[in-house]
């Protein structure tokens, strides 16, 4: 729909996405829009807005499995325009202790959308090195809430409801990540990230730092350990080697793999960035003996450690527009 006018919304519907900005585009979780990855081309998506009996067929604009976000598009703009009445505003941030409400369609039960209220427990969370910049809250997120908005009391989107752990801790993708990813998906259909060039990395946790303590040898610090750089990749070309500890990329401090991947979301392929790293003896990254672990070797490391800063040209594919995107 090339002549569609922008219509912003923060409405949730039984298909559980946020009706996102720019006309007919809808932001939701990737696992909602794409529940069966192998059947992506053949599965038909249908969206039903709250209070509306009719279904509307939707098409997929793009998906980003790494952030678990996707954008779909509803073609019949006039038919749904009356539901799109509240401007969508991504909040600049959210504070610990702030009141929030999660909107969704919990458990898929009849009776319309559901709302749960809670407070923000923590921000900037990272889970298993994959999900990063998460908002942790105690507003319950059950099956059916995924992809709905997490709002502050001003009606601004502070996150996209995502998942829970053990039915006690709940997480939303932050508005900062959601805003960046949705903008990329709407304009290009894909998300571009800068690439540093590594095959294996390891987060140095607080526990590992504490275990190291004040024993002999260089102090162990938080960061992302480069276990195996890609030969000929940006890091290797800049002189980094196995066992270097990445601590900052441009203005982004990286304490774990999730934070590193989140930083690369905001850095374009081909750009030159400054990387701060700590160099440890390469021996600590040698494959551990049977029954041993790399983390144990790091706690026992000895030898000199030095701090360095260098410039790196990020790899990755530059993309301009999505072919066929209207």
Q: Is 204 helix (H, G, I), strand (E, B) or coil?
A: strand
Contact 126, 258 (CB under 8 A): yes
* C-alpha span between 258 and 133 (Å, rounded): 8
Annotated catalytic residue: which of 12, 64, 67, 68? Answer: 68
Number of C-beta neighbours around residue 201 at 10 A: 21
Q: How distant, in Å, are the alpha carbons of 89, 143, 281 from that of 63?
A: 21, 20, 41
Contact 145, 32 (CB under 8 A): no
- List of residues 6+ apart from 134 with CB closer than 8 A: 123, 124, 125, 126, 127, 159, 162, 171, 172, 173, 174
* C-alpha span between 16 and 20 (Å, rounded): 12
Residue 262 phi, psi (nearest 5): -70, -40
The question of whether 68 is a catalytic residue gets the answer yes
Structure tokens at 322: 């999505």
Contact 10, 88 (CB under 8 A): yes
DSSP code string of 55-74:
-EEEEEEEEETTTTEEEEEE
Annotated catalytic residue: which of 31, 99, 183, 187? Answer: 31
* C-alpha span between 140 and 158 (Å, rounded): 16
| Burial group, residue 221, by CB count within 10 angstroms (0-12, 13-18, 19+) | middle
The question of whether 31 is a catalytic residue gets the answer yes
Annotated catalytic residue: which of 12, 146, 162, 175? Answer: 146
Catalytic residues: 31, 68, 146
């Amino acid at each position: 729909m090339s002549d569609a006018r922008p219509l912003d919304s923060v409405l949730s519907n039984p298909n559980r996405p946020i009706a996102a900005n720019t006309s007919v585009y809808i932001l939701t979780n990737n696992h909602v829009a794409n529940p069966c990855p192998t059947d992506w081309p053949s599965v038909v998506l249908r969206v039903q807005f709250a209070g509306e009996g009719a279904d509307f067929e939707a098409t997929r604009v793009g998906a980003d499995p790494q952030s678990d976000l996707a954008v779909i598009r509803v073609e019949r703009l006039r038919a749904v325009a009356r539901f799109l009445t509240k401007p969508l505003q991504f909040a600049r941030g959210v504070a610990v202790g702030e009141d929030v409400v999660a909107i969704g369609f919990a458990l898929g039960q009849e009776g319309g959308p559901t709302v749960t209220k809670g407070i923000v427990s923590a921000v900037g969370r990272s889970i298993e090195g994959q999900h990063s910049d998460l908002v942790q809250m105690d507003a319950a997120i059950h099956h059916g809430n995924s992809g709905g908005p997490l709002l502050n009391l001003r009606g601004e989107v502070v996150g996209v409801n995502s998942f829970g752990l053990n039915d006690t801790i709940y997480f939303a993708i932050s508005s900062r990540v959601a805003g960046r990813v949705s903008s990329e998906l709407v304009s290009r259909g894909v998300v571009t990230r800068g690439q540093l060039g590594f095959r294996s990395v390891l987060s140095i946790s607080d526990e590992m730092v504490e275990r190291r303590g004040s024993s002999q040898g260089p102090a162990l610090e938080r960061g992302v350990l480069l276990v195996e750089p890609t030969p000929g990749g940006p890091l290797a070309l800049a002189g980094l080697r196995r066992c270097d500890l990445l601590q900052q990329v441009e203005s982004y401090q990286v304490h774990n793999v999730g934070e590193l991947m989140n930083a690369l979301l905001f850095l374009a392929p081909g750009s030159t960035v400054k990387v701060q790293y700590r160099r440890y003896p390469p021996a600590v990254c040698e494959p551990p003996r049977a029954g041993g672990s790399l983390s144990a070797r790091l706690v026992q490391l000895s030898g000199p450690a030095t701090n360095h800063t260098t410039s790196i040209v990020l790899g990755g594919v530059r993309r301009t527009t999505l072919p066929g995107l209207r």
